Amino acid sequence: MLQNSKTNKPISLLCQSINIMTTLSQAYRDHPLIHLHHIVPLDFDSLRTVPDSHDWPHSSYDTLKLHTNGDVSIPLIDMSDPNVAMLIGNVCKTWGVFQLTNHGVPTSLVERAEAEAGRLFDLPMTRKLKALRAPGDATGYGLPRITPFFSKYMWHEGFTIMGSSAEHASQLWSSNYQPFCDVMEEYQKNMKSLAEKITHLILNFLKIPDDAEISNWLHSAGAAAACSTALQLNCYPRCPDPTRVMGLAPHTDTFLLTILHQSSTCGLQIFRDGFGWLPVTPVAGALVLNVGDLFHILSNGRFPNVLHRVVVDPTRRRLSMAYFFGPPPDFCVTPFNNPPESPRFRSVVVKEYVGLKAKNLECALSMIEI
Ligand SMILES: O=C(O)CCC(=O)C(=O)O
Ligand SMILES: [Fe+2]
């Protein structure tokens, strides 16, 4: 019988296990958006005023005002620092978010990916609609997944990639779509390897033993083991009256970690207890990393899953690329606690948590709280 040279497992067995494993796209398909017909973004370029559908209540307008204490800013960590594990671990505990420099992802790659994302959002709406996310699907062009939880629409258009972008890209551009696919593939590879490195540092910081299931998964993730990953391209067009709209409503991210590249236009804000909304000011060449729900669970609540949102700029459109990273949909996440500390959450399988989040958004966590 044929054998896989790395694992020495018979190929037929490997194929079987691949067939029965849930992919992240499948996990999302199992939990479709509540209002399937609400998937078409507005043609923002044609608008001179904010339509009622996108006009957020006055109360949200008030909260758009930022905390003005200039001393408080998101920590910046240099990945070449010899104490990087300690620095990242401590910041995950105290903030749940940081900016990272010297991360090893080539600037030219990030710039090419941003340029290709820009080329996508520059297309006329008739073209973008060719790659519209199908009802129940998670990939392609469309509104943010959290849309059904809010009574108003966001000033946002997005494009979601899970693995290859070829199918949707070929619908966007009948020719000349390969540069887009190539750069997005290379970008995802770089993000995956950075996410693995950071997760490894954090597991060490938490003193999670090498034989724990999460460590085993991470060790094999670099080789071939399945992961849950997605690349979300976000575009926040210019707005005639940004004080009345919301770019991306407050939310936490679902998986272990998010690695975000933001263009030089401001807009991302995080909520910090005692301070309110703080801006994550773009730093040239830095990536923004934040803790998601699954790391919050895994760390037994020690790492805050930071609440964040995006506000819109009056003069410049803003682009961002968010890479979400976590264990595969069938993986069971168990809080790591040091007795006598007791677990704060019950164990949860990733795809079950994706389902809880799809139905309950921020209440999902409280549903697995002990
Ligand atoms: O655009 C940003 O800065 C944030 C995007 C984000 O939070 C997301 O895609 O989940
Ligand atoms: Fe997010």
Q: List the chain domain ranges.
A: 54-368
Q: What is the pLDDT of residue 221?
A: 63
Q: How far is the CA of 234 from the centre of ligand 1 (A)?
A: 7
* Ligand 1 close to Cβ of residue 268 (< 6 A): yes
**Residues in the chain, overall count:** 370
Q: What is the pLDDT of residue 18?
A: 37
pTM of the shown model: 0.90
Q: Which atom of ligand 1 is nearest to the CA of 247?
A: 1
Per-residue pLDDT of the chain (370 residues; tens, 9 = 90+): 334 343 343 333 333 333 456 788 887 777 765 554 456 778 887 788 898 889 987 645 455 555 555 567 899 999 999 999 999 999 999 999 999 999 999 999 999 999 999 999 999 999 999 999 987 888 999 999 899 899 899 999 999 999 899 999 999 998 899 999 999 999 999 999 999 999 999 999 999 999 999 999 998 866 556 899 999 999 999 998 888 999 999 999 999 999 999 999 999 999 998 888 999 999 999 999 999 999 999 999 999 999 999 999 888 999 999 999 999 999 999 999 887 789 999 999 999 999 999 888 889 999 999 9
Q: What is the pLDDT of residue 39?
A: 62
ipTM above 0.95, yes or no: yes
* Ligand 1 close to Cβ of residue 262 (< 6 A): yes
What is the bridge-based pairing of β-strands 157-161 and 140-142?
antiparallel
Q: What is the pLDDT of residue 66?
A: 55
Q: How far is the CA of 320 from the centre of ligand 1 (A)?
A: 7
What is the bridge-based pairing of β-strands 228-236 and 318-326?
antiparallel
Q: Which atom of ligand 1 is nearest to the CA of 318?
A: 1
* Ligand 1 close to Cβ of residue 310 (< 6 A): yes
Q: State in Å, rounded, how far the first CA of the chain is from the last one.
A: 48
Residue 255: closest CA among 222, 296, 293, 302: 293
Q: What is the pLDDT of residue 33?
A: 57
Q: What is the pLDDT of residue 77?
A: 98
Angle at 213 between CA 210 and CA 214, to 5 degrees: 80
Identify the nearest ligand to the CA of 306 by its number. Answer: 2
Q: What is the pLDDT of residue 3?
A: 40
Identify the nearest ligand to the CA of 233 by its number. Answer: 1
Q: What CATH class has 54-368? A: mainly beta
DSSP string, 144-206: -TTGGGSSS--S-EEEEESS--HHHHHHH-SSS-HHHHHHHHHHHHHHHHHHHHHHHHHHHHT
Give, in order, the Cα–Cα distances in Å from 12 to each of 1, 162, 202. 8, 26, 36
Q: How far is the CA of 360 from the centre of ligand 2 (A)?
A: 16
Query: φ and ψ at 143, to 5 degrees?
Result: -80, 165
Catalytic residues: 318
* Ligand 1 close to Cβ of residue 234 (< 6 A): yes
Q: What is the pLDDT of residue 43?
A: 84
> Residue of the nearest CA to atom 5 in ligand 1?
322
> Residue of the nearest CA to atom 1 in ligand 1?
320
